[in-house]
Amino acid sequence: MDLYLVLNTSMLLTLATLCTPIILPLLSDNLKNTPSTITSTVKTSFLISLIPMTIYLHSGMESLTSFWEWKFIMNFKIPISLKMDFYSLTFFPIALFVSWSILQFASWYMASDPHITKFFSYLLFFLIAMLILIIANNLFVLFIGWEGVGIMSFLLISWWHGRADANTAALQAVLYNRVGDVGLILCMAWLASTLNTWEIQQISSPSQTPTLPILGLILAATAKSAQFGLHPWLPAAMEGPTPVSALLHSSTMVVAGIFLLIRTHPMYANNPTALSLCLCLGALSTLFAATCALTQNDIKKIIAFSTSSQLGLMMVTIGLNLPQLAFLHISTHAFFKAMLFLCSGSIIHSLNGEQDIRKMGGLQKMLPTTTSCLTIGNLALMGTPFLAGFYSKDAIIESLNTSYLNTWALTLTLLATSFTAVYTLRMTLLVQTGFVRIPPLVPMNENNPAVLSPITRLALGSITAGFLITSFILPTKTPPMTMPLSIKLTAIIVTALGAVLALELSKMTQALILPKQNRFSNFSTTLGYFNPLTHRFTTTNLLNMGQNIASHLIDLSWYKMLGPEGLATLQQSASKFMTTLHTGLIKAYMGSFALSILIILMSTY
């Protein structure tokens, strides 16, 4: 059997199956979409996408397809080329599995929404754009997917657009992503003018790697993956419904920036500046996000900052020149982060919209399945041995400890790992254990299979995904094999220290008194003072500069002083001077003018 044909066909069939709910209603009036048809479409796509992944795991076969070239400049080829290699073949089933679970959950979560079908089609559009981004082989197709996910993120965050906070959050997401797009376009322009191509195969440069396009790529990843400096949109994006947060802002869209860096890895693999930049930026982001998550009281914001912290960890891995390990962390992170969001959605709906963890407690007995899966997800996030997060996170920490890098990045990352344990354990303790702090009459019911089966499916994935992926994939770089015992146990030790700290802290906060403000708690609560500083300062400066240039410079000085009125002032000063010398006998002047003309004419004849 020609496995090559099967690989390509099944991959294209996956994408085509996803497009059917968009195309079929346009062809006939009877074929309307419903949430269940879209969910079953994604499930079918997932099952079909298992075929190419199995072929890859069996024989290591990769494929590169190119069809239809856009001929609009003569000597610049822009083919629509799709690359089916390890990254895309492995990520397709994972993304589709997570999306299927989220869509099934969303049919329960958004059941009371009148436009639920539009919501599902938005999610489907987003999924298609994300898969286009994953499978792209040149930066043009990747850019199409990039912009697609950006727009769908905007539309989905502002789903409840009657709420002013949701609109501001969506606007923030679009503006910050735009800044990153500038970086991506810079890189594309540089590539088009220097290497005359946008294909990823043709951009591996041997020794001197230029810094400018790499800086553009890092800027794009900073914006899309919410690294420090362009990060405020990610916590604000929690204004969207929980399925949106689960799909976009935990598993798929925010990893697009890291995925771009993974794809273009050969470009900067030999550039120590770029690698150090990624390392330090990632370390700073992971620590900053973990610090901000320590004092958050909204359950979705805690998980959002946790996502931001894990994205920083992925950036650190890129900085260590280990793109495959970053991809492994992306894959395992998708499972448990989506599950954490789904569990929080179930809790929020059961408590009739309550998202504050200070008003939850003792839910272990009332929502057993949800809270058990919440515990599994939190343990996987902390890197508990042999759950999914362990295989990627522990490998990253081990490589970090045994590499030649600056101590600052190492310290920040280890501190952030410890903080991860602190905030996850704080969330678990406040939500699940302790005294009950919820109002007595709540519609608490988790016995719907639309809720339970996605969560348990993802829990199964959170437990087994790491093991399954690492046992089937050969690493491209040799992992560190020998290290002292203390280095080997570093991740576990800092996590355990963080957990002990969290237990101590939770004992201190049993009484509901106002916490005392000191510098560090203020820093953590106000998210590092970043939002008011940048959002007010930069916009004030920009608008002031605009007013200075437009009205003061152009209108007042150029048009008035140097332009017409300046000329008028000059003439006026001259004529004022002349007036005193004038006698004003116009008739005499004109008569003498006529007389002299007459004399001249007569003298020439």
Partner 1 sequence: MSSLHLSFYSAFVLSSLGLAFHRTHLISALLCLEGMMLSMYVALAMWPIQTQTSSPTIIPILMLAFSACEAGTGLALLVASTRTHGSDHLHNFNLLQC
For partner 1, the binding residue among 26, 485, 586, 600 (CB under 8 A) is: 586
Q: Find out whether 258 and 226 touch, Cβ atoms under 8 Å.
A: no
For partner 1, the binding residue among 27, 73, 594, 602 (CB under 8 A) is: 594
Coil/strand/helix, residue 63 = strand
Locus of tokens 């002047």: 589
d(CA 458, CA 481): 31
Q: Is residue 368 part of the contact set for partner 1 (CB under 8 A)? A: no
Q: Which is nearer to partner 1, 447 or 579 (CB)?
A: 579
Q: Is residue 591 part of the contact set for partner 1 (CB under 8 A)? A: yes
Coil/strand/helix, residue 575 = helix
Which among 276-284, 393-401, 529-537, 584-592 is the span making contact with partner 1, rule CB under 8 A?
A: 584-592
Q: How far is the CB of 599 from partner 1 (least distance, A)?
A: 13
The type of residue at 569 is T
Q: Is residue 600 part of the contact set for partner 1 (CB under 8 A)? A: no
Which among 70-78, 220-228, 554-562, 581-589 is the span making contact with partner 1, rule CB under 8 A?
A: 581-589
Q: Which is nearer to partner 1, 481 or 594 (CB)?
A: 594
Q: How far is the CB of 585 from partner 1 (least distance, A)?
A: 7
Q: Around Cβ 15, how many Cβ atoms within 10 Å?
A: 17
Q: Which is nearer to partner 1, 563 or 591 (CB)?
A: 591
Q: Which is nearer to partner 1, 212 or 585 (CB)?
A: 585
Q: Which two tokens stand for residue 108?
A: 């329960």
Q: How far is the CB of 568 from partner 1 (least distance, A)?
A: 12
d(CA 351, CA 437): 11
Q: Is residue 584 part of the contact set for partner 1 (CB under 8 A)? A: yes
Q: Which is nearer to partner 1, 1 or 578 (CB)?
A: 578
DSSP assignment letter at 79: E
Q: Find out whether 38 and 120 touch, Cβ atoms under 8 Å.
A: yes
For partner 1, the binding residue among 583, 602, 604, 605 (CB under 8 A) is: 583
Q: How far is the CB of 600 from partner 1 (least distance, A)?
A: 13
Q: How far is the CB of 75 from partner 1 (least distance, A)?
A: 43
Q: Which is nearer to partner 1, 545 or 597 (CB)?
A: 597
d(CA 102, CA 343): 11
Q: Which is nearer to partner 1, 23 or 597 (CB)?
A: 597
For partner 1, the binding residue among 28, 208, 579, 604 (CB under 8 A) is: 579
CA dihedral 6, 11, 17, 23 (to 10 degrees): -120
Which among 102-110, 178-186, 363-371, 587-595 is the span making contact with partner 1, rule CB under 8 A?
A: 587-595
Q: Which is nearer to partner 1, 23 or 590 (CB)?
A: 590
What share of residues in the chain are helix, strand, coil (percent, to 5)?
75, 5, 20
Q: Find out whether 335 and 90 touch, Cβ atoms under 8 Å.
A: no
Q: Is residue 475 part of the contact set for partner 1 (CB under 8 A)? A: no
d(CA 40, CA 237): 27
The type of residue at 345 is G
Q: Is residue 567 part of the contact set for partner 1 (CB under 8 A)? A: no
Q: How far apart are the first and last CA of the chain?
A: 113
Q: Which residues, including other chains, have CB under 8 Å from residue 483's CB and lie 6 or more apart?
A: 398, 401, 402
Binding-site ranges for partner 1 (CB under 8 A): 579, 582-587, 590-591, 593-594, 597
